[in-house]
Amino acid sequence: AATVAVAAAADAAITRDGHRIEVFANLGSLADAEAAVAAGAEGCGLLRTEFLFLDRASPPDVEEQAALYDRIGAAMAGRPVIVRLLDVGGDKPAPYLDFAAEENPALGLRGIRVGLTHRALLETQVAAILRAAKHHDLRIMVPMIASVEELEAVRAVVAGEAAKIGRTRPIPLGIMVETPAAAMIAAQLARRADFFSIGTNDLTQYALAMDRGNPAVASGIDGLHPAVLALIAATARGAERHARMVGLCGGLASDPLAVPLLVGLGVEELSATPNRVPEVKALVRRLSRADCRALAEAALAAATAAEVRALALRFQQELP
């Protein structure tokens, strides 16, 4: 692990004015982990664990899950891996989950709401992550948090599973900020969470009240809408109050137009798709965070997403 740290530092993405931005990768399989390392990812900012749970008759047991988390941890070779708890819902049904049909799946039983109503599923997953975390730097991330109570309930489950195996060192427990509610109570959540990762795909859908899967509104779903930027800024402010790290694992982290804005808004870790990692690192090295902050200020005052895009485009064209 020490060798990896030294090698990673040498290859770090540091802005021209000396601020390190960690460039991580989003993973949805073991093959992704290998691609991410080859692309220079410094860690995994989002392991989507759904692939383990869908298209099967019964959920994976603790051994099967632990073995997979262990293999992904090994492929990431000492780098941090943020494992997101299962994020399924009415739109991604698993036959062993007794979901009733919902009129609004995006507003229904999904994300951590599923784990909190199907406790055995949550406990098994946490137990498996804790088992694999004996050998790797795994961290737990909770999807779709909308309240402090949800985080506290998950923390109790994590503490219970850790006690069962006699683990005394706490595992980092963070949350996805992907509901406007979470962004607006970021300071209260930051007091109780070890880190944040902003999920701009869902945050945009919920901020703009536009279904991300509905083609009729697809052209309006823009993560550079000033309302979404305001929620990102609120999240970063809340995190700063308690000195928590703010990452971002939604699609904006892979968008070269968005990256300078995100850095300016205070995002410290960008988790991109593995194939975009080299480009994001190269871009960070061309940035000055001070200039990014000025860009972010201007973007927060913009009236429309189109205005934000025009500002970001000009910034990009003027980069040294």
Contact with Mg ion (CB under 5 A): which of 32, 70, 202, 255? 202
Nearest approach in angstroms of CB 309 to ligand PEP is: 19
Contacts of 63 (CB under 8 A, 6+ apart): 128
Sign of CA dihedral 87, 93, 95, 98: positive
Q: How many angstroms separate the Cα of 12 from the Cα of each of 46, 80, 193, 253, 281?
A: 19, 14, 26, 17, 8
* Contact call for residue 200 and ligand PEP (CB under 6 A): yes
Q: How far apart are CA 291 and CA 296, in angstroms?
A: 9
> In the complex with ligand PEP, which residue's Cβ is closer, 90 or 250?
250
* Residue 249 touches which of Mg ion, ligand PEP, none (Cβ within 5-8 Å per kind): ligand PEP
121 or 176: CB nearest ligand PEP:
176
**Closest to Mg ion by CB, 178 or 255:** 178
- Examine residue 89 and tell whether it contacts Mg ion (CB under 5 A): no
Query: Binding of Mg ion at residue 142 (CB under 5 A)?
Result: no
Report what 146 binds from Mg ion, ligand PEP, none; CB cut-off 5-8 Å by kind.
none
Among 199, 247, 251, 274, interactor with Mg ion by CB under 5 A = 199
Is residue 137 within the footprint of ligand PEP (CB under 6 A)?
no
> If you ran DSSP here, which 8-state letter would residue 154 be given?
H
**Residue 309 CA neighbour count, 13 Å, CB half:** 9
Distance from the Cα of residue 110 to its chain's centroid: 16
| Among positions 250, 260, 266, 274, the unique one binding ligand PEP when judged by CB under 6 A | 250
Q: Which is nearer to ligand PEP, 251 or 289 (by Cβ)?
A: 251
Helix/strand/coil for 192: helix
235 binds ligand PEP (CB under 6 A): no
The only residue of 35, 201, 217, 222 in contact with ligand PEP, by rule CB under 6 A: 201
Strand segments, DSSP code E, in the chain are 13-14, 20-27, 44-48, 81-84, 138-142, 173-177, 195-198, 245-248, 269-272
Residue 222 tokens, joined: 């823009």
Q: Which stretch binds Mg ion (CB under 5 A): 165-173, 202-210, 218-226, 281-289?
A: 202-210
Q: Does 113 bind ligand PEP (CB under 6 A)?
A: no
Long-range contacts of residues 29-37, Cβ cutoff 8 Å, at least 24 apart: 30/68, 30/71, 30/72, 30/75, 32/274, 33/72, 33/75, 33/76, 34/75, 35/274, 35/275, 36/76, 36/274, 36/277, 37/75, 37/76, 37/77, 37/79
φ/ψ region of 143 (left if φ > 0, alpha if ψ in -120 to 50, else beta) reads: beta
Chain centroid to Cα 2, Å, comes to 25
Angle between the N-to-C axes of helices 62-75 and 119-132, in degrees from 0 to 180, rounded to the nearest 10: 40
Contact with ligand PEP (CB under 6 A) among 42, 161, 178, 268: 178
315 neighbors 286 (Cβ within 8 angstroms)? no
The reply to whether 174 sits near Mg ion by the rule CB under 5 A is no
Total residues interacting with ligand PEP, rule: CB under 6 A: 10
**Given the rule CB under 6 A, which of 65-73, 114-122, 182-190, 200-208 is the region that contacts ligand PEP?**
200-208
Binds 114: which of ligand PEP, Mg ion, none (CB < 5-8 Å by kind)? none
φ/ψ of 28, rounded to 5, equals -130, 15
Q: Is 32 in the site for ligand PEP (CB under 6 A)?
A: no
Out of 189, 249, 258, 267, which residue is the one contacting ligand PEP (CB under 6 A)? 249
Nearer to ligand PEP, 66 or 248 (CB): 248
269 binds Mg ion (CB under 5 A): no
The residues of the shown chain that bind Mg ion, judged by CB under 5 A, are 178, 199, 202
The residues of the shown chain that bind ligand PEP, judged by CB under 6 A, are 46, 48, 87, 178, 199-202, 249-250
